[in-house]
Structure formats: structure tokens, C-alpha cells
Amino acid sequence: MIQKKICMVGSFGVGKTSLVARYVKSIFSDKYFTTLGVKIDKKSLSVEGEEVNLMLWDLAGEDALTQIKPMQLRGASGYILVSDGCRVSTLDAAIDLQSRVEAELGSLPFTCVVNKVDLRDNWEVDDAALDRLRTLGWSFLLTSAKSGVGVEALFQSLAERMVREKKIDAR
């Protein structure tokens, strides 16, 4: 069995914990609890007939005082940059965060997520902002932890890309 660590990173309140809860437990709560430190969940899935055990490290969201701890990123095989479509500043923050994570971990598979697509009518993130992600050459997904849109595909596709990466082995 292959074990892979994935880090959920992004600004506070964008829905990192909710995405994991939707994926692992198929639940969603509207109530916002900010995450302190880290919360680790596990979920197994099958990639090309092989069982993969994902360790989902849900890291505390960044704010003015809290920054990602490089120590918590270590050993990751991939990461998910989460932003909130209703707050364009969180997408800018995700773009900034990506370069810091890459400096720490090197080049790894990652997916950028613009979350809360169920609230699309209230989005600040517009087509121009999404075009910017395309210009960066990023793979990105529009998701909703509330409705579940894109969540399964997010983890499945990232897991597939990580397994294909030969360089980083599971312990």
C-alpha cells in the first residue's frame, strides 16, 4: 500500500477543513470553526488498481499573524492551494503561497482550488482572475464543499498525478 501526504494550504476561512470533511466523511457544516495548528485525516482510494492511503494534513489558514510552518509541509507528495471565490484577496494569497511552498518542497504536483462555487453569484473572482491562473499554467478546479461539486475529482486527480511522480516514494 502506498501512503501519500497531501497538505491543504490557503488563507483562513476559505474552506480547507470543509473540503476534507466533505471528502472523508461526506458531511458539511455552515458553522465556521477556525483551525489551529493541524488536523490530519486519512482516506484510502484506488489509483490504477493500486490502493493509496492519503494523509490529508489540514493546516491552519494563513492570516496576518499565522504563517505556514515549513516543518508541517515536510514529507508531502502534493498540496492543494485553496482560495475562496467570494474573496479575491485569497486567490492572490494562494498565488503568493505557492511560491513559498515550492521553495520549501521543490516542484510537486498541486491543484489550485477556487472554493464556494455554490455562491458563484457573489463571487469577486471573475473570468480575468481565472485567466490569470491559466496564464500561470496551473491546473485548477472550482469546488464546493457544501454541494460536493469537484471535491471527489480534486483528490482523485491529484492522487493520480502524485502516484505517477516516480521521484517521491511513500515511506
Partner 1 sequence: MPDSPSTDPLGQASEASHAAALLLYGMQFAVFERDGPRHFTAVSAAPIWFERLTEREPATDPTALTEYFPALEGFLPMAEEFWQTASTQSLQSDFWTEADAEGIEYHLLAIAVTAGPRHFLAIERADATYINHQQLQLYAHEMVIQCETITRLNREVKRATQAKSEFLATMSHEIRTPLNAILGMADLLAESHLDADQQKYVDVFQRAGANLLGLINDILDLSKVEAGHLELESVNFELAEVIARVLELTRVKATAKALALGSSLAEDLPPMLIGDPPRLRQILINLLGNAMKFTDAGRLDVEVSRDPEDEHAGALLFRVRDTGIGIASDKLDVIFENFSQADSSTTRKYGGTGLGLAISRRLVELMGGRIWVESTLGQGSTFLFTVKLGVCDLPSLVAASHEAAARAVTTPTDLPVVHILLADDSEDNRFLIREYLKRTPCNLEFAENGETALGMMKFRHYDLVLMDAHMPVMDGYAATCAIRTWEQQHGGRPVPIIALTADAFKEAVDQSLSAGCDAHLTKPIAKATLVEAIRLHALACDQPPQSVPAPIAEAESSLSALAPRYLENMGKQLEVLRLAESLEDYGTIQRVGHNLHGTGASFGFPRITEFGIALEQAAKDRAMSKIRTAITEFEWYVQHLLAV
In the complex, the residues that contact partner 1 under the rule CB under 8 A are 12-13, 25, 32-40, 55, 60, 63-65, 69, 71-72, 74-75, 87, 89, 124
In the bound state with partner 1, the residue whose beta carbon lies nearer, of 39 and 43, is 39
At 66, the amino acid letter reads T
Helix, strand or coil for residue 122?
A: helix
Strands (E), 34-92: 38-47, 50-59, 78-84
Instruction: Answer for the pair 113, 8: CB distance below 8 angstroms, yes or no.
Output: no
In the bound state with partner 1, the residue whose beta carbon lies nearer, of 38 and 119, is 38
In the bound state with partner 1, the residue whose beta carbon lies nearer, of 31 and 166, is 31
Spatial distance between the Cα atoms of 56 and 28, rounded to a whole number of angstroms: 17
Closest approach of partner 1 to the CB of residue 12, in Å: 5
Closest approach of partner 1 to the CB of residue 137, in Å: 28
In the bound state with partner 1, the residue whose beta carbon lies nearer, of 64 and 103, is 64
Closest approach of partner 1 to the CB of residue 18, in Å: 14
Q: Which of 153, 73, 84 is nearest to 108 (CA)?
A: 73
Closest approach of partner 1 to the CB of residue 61, in Å: 8
For 27, other C-beta atoms within 10 Å of its C-beta total: 9
